[in-house]
Structure 1
Amino acid sequence: MVHAMAEATKTQTVQTIGKYELIRPIGDGNMGTVYLARDPFSLQDVAIKIATPKPADDDRIARRRRKLFYIEAKAAGMLRHPNIVATIDAGVEDDRRYLVMEYVPGASTLDRFCRPDNLLPIEHVVGTMLKCAIAFDYAHNQGVVHRDIKPKNIMLTQDNEVKICDFGLALITSADINDTQVMGRLGSPRYMSPEQVSEEMVTNQSDVFSLGVVTYELLTGVSPFKADNISAIARRITREAHKPLTEYRDDIPPALVHIVDRTLKKHPAGRYQTAMDLAGDLSLIHDEIRHTTNQLSSTRQFERVSRLSFFEEFEESEILETVKAGEWEEYEAGNEIILEGEFDKSFYLLISGKVSVRRADLEVDVLRPGATFGELGFIVNQARTATIVARDKATVLKIRSSLIERTSINCQLRFQKAFLKNLAERYCSTMNFIARSKR
């Protein structure tokens, strides 16, 4: 009897919509709150955007919200692309409209990398925008213009794959849906195209302009049309030239500067005609950067890592295997390498520089070359328990478990031994810190 009452109470406290059990809010989108939820039949985690009518809305605003929801559900349902968040289901329950989407665990939105102190490497920016351009060209060919491209609507997964989301302000160009379109000045002011600001006809080239704004911010950490108010932003977008990228940094290839400048032309005729045209130029510059950027060769990388204590028992061939299985990454002082609460199955070996280990904004340790971090995520794929920040310019070797598994048996055994040794040392260091803090 008691068990039955407990089960009944548990059932009553679980919030649901449709067949889905709501777990917790994870974000806000246009016209709705996004929740992490679960399909009780497939046990699959999903993201659900719920649009709830607001008591203060008059009939006109309420109709507008309903139209926007219908457009988002329709637009998202038309698109099936690996770089666009998939739509699974949609419905209405008790006047609450909901959209069920693919859940992407551990993803970060690009606004995190639009700060001057946390910029991505140029090659990474170009690769990310290349994937975006290809995905948006697909959407445009399906008759969907996003109209709200901004860093918060583009995610990077744990494997650095792009996932575009939030088609809540989309324009669908199909003739059979024109009567339900919402027109006017729609979008986020800093990322609007001149034709959006002027409430003129919007085409796929409007999205090209917005992609240019996002690229500019990823390269500089600054908005090209920054101003104190919406009117001033609108004036800058429609009338004033953006500050040249070269005024912020001198390491951007001239060809990339030209690409960004072309996307930000005031008149659509001066821009790329399609997102695929933009993708073509980005692909060329991406290949050029990969071949000309000043990266260490495998031989030079070997010389640097072979001196570290982690590799002291490795054979030379096994060191080379490990280096080739990893990604060589560099971070400027203040850059976040991993973030507390994120999911990431990578393990990091510090090659040079120093990094700070922080928990809840408290520095608990400082790591030096030869140290490792990210061990728990590497083993059990749990959320990161600390934030790692570069104290000065730092170089790390980022290693994924799936790539280590492809190395030779001897290399794997050697790696596991060194890995466990470092894990034990980190454990002792943490215990010592706790003991000192209690004194």
Structure 2
Amino acid sequence: MTPESDAWTLEALLREHAPRALAIVASRNRDFDGAEDAVQEALIAAAEQWQAGVPDDPRAWLVTVASRRLVDAYRSADARRRREREAWDDREAPAADEPAAGDVDDSLTLVLLCCHPALTPGAAIPLTLRAVGGLTTREIAAAFLVPEATMAQRISRAKATLRAAGGRFEPPPEDARDARMRSALHVLYLMFNEGYVASEGDDLARPDLAAEAIRLTRMLQASLPADAEVAGLLALMLLTEARRPARVDAAGRLVPLPAQDRTRWNPALIAEGVVLLTDAMRRGEVGEYQLQAAVAAVHDQAPSYADTDWPRIAGLYRALARLTDNPMVGLNAAVAVAMTDGIAAAMEGVDAAAAALGDHHRVHAVRAHLYELSGDRPGAAEAFRAAAARTANEAERRYLADAASRLSGSAEDGSRETSGGDVENGRSAPTP
């Protein structure tokens, strides 16, 4: 194993365990702000000390070190001595073979804390992605389509607001729970999106983050079984996750939707997602997550790409556009519009989305696909090159660059298959 792969493995390990460690430390001490600082210090210590060997239970190690750092911080101020006794109470972190009690519930409690009513959705969502999802500030900024410095300031302000509002690590009162749901659902949605298509890095996806989003959404759905949008979000995740096995080839290269081997899709996840969605939509309270899940269900149930019910998908996107002004909706709808109303109509939608999204790589990728559908190979190649130059995900970049080379006639692969059919699976960026 090379030093570079060692570093990547260590980073992945820290990403995996940091959010759960934060949930445990915050739960024990009822202090989210202090726990986050302590866990960050523990992560710095781990990055140095684990070079010589990873402990048997990395999460317990992080919890132990962070808890001790937090106690040290309490001890540094006389005014916090009483708080120290309440928070620590002579407890130690779980042993390596001892499960962390309350670990699962604490993660969801942390989501709801970060969606405190004192925070606007534009502040609550980035804070939660940082604390629960373990995303870097740069990754969150990419999801919100803003500069990294802007997002860093937003997260800092959110923490200060939460601290001033007296936010505590505990389940919210029943009458306040529903008010936090929209932000919580949006957080879980974005967490899953980042797991399904990472905003940066060498790999196309971060399966650990997607799995965590599904786990938390299952918990939320179990606690709110009558909420149609919670069920819709879970259905969307399952129906999308079902395609993961076919999205990359043996070499880790992205495989677009038209070329995917549908026999590799997960039929159990598709069946579960369809049942959840059907039950949710029967309640008559159709929301944006249910509509997005319906789009995913149409794709998943089509026997082949050629047999996709494009008029149905276009209609679902029109209904979705009436519920939200998110420009990504119009961009994701472009392929369906091209299939039903023609390339010109689809390009109009892309231009309208581009007015809000600017020079985003997905705008160029969709344009490239439409140019290719129209037979304009030089235009498609140029747009694919522009998209490749603007993505920070290496797997996406390779795929887009290869498509540009093929259309320019310089690739060895002479395949005529269109390259951009997976664009309708792109993330929908949040409204800040």
Pairwise TM-score range, normalised by the shorter structure? under 0.3
Select the structure that is richer in helix.
Answer: 2
Larger Rg: 1
- Structure-1-length-normalised TM-score: 0.25
Select the structure that is richer in strand.
Answer: 1
- Structure-2-length-normalised TM-score: 0.25
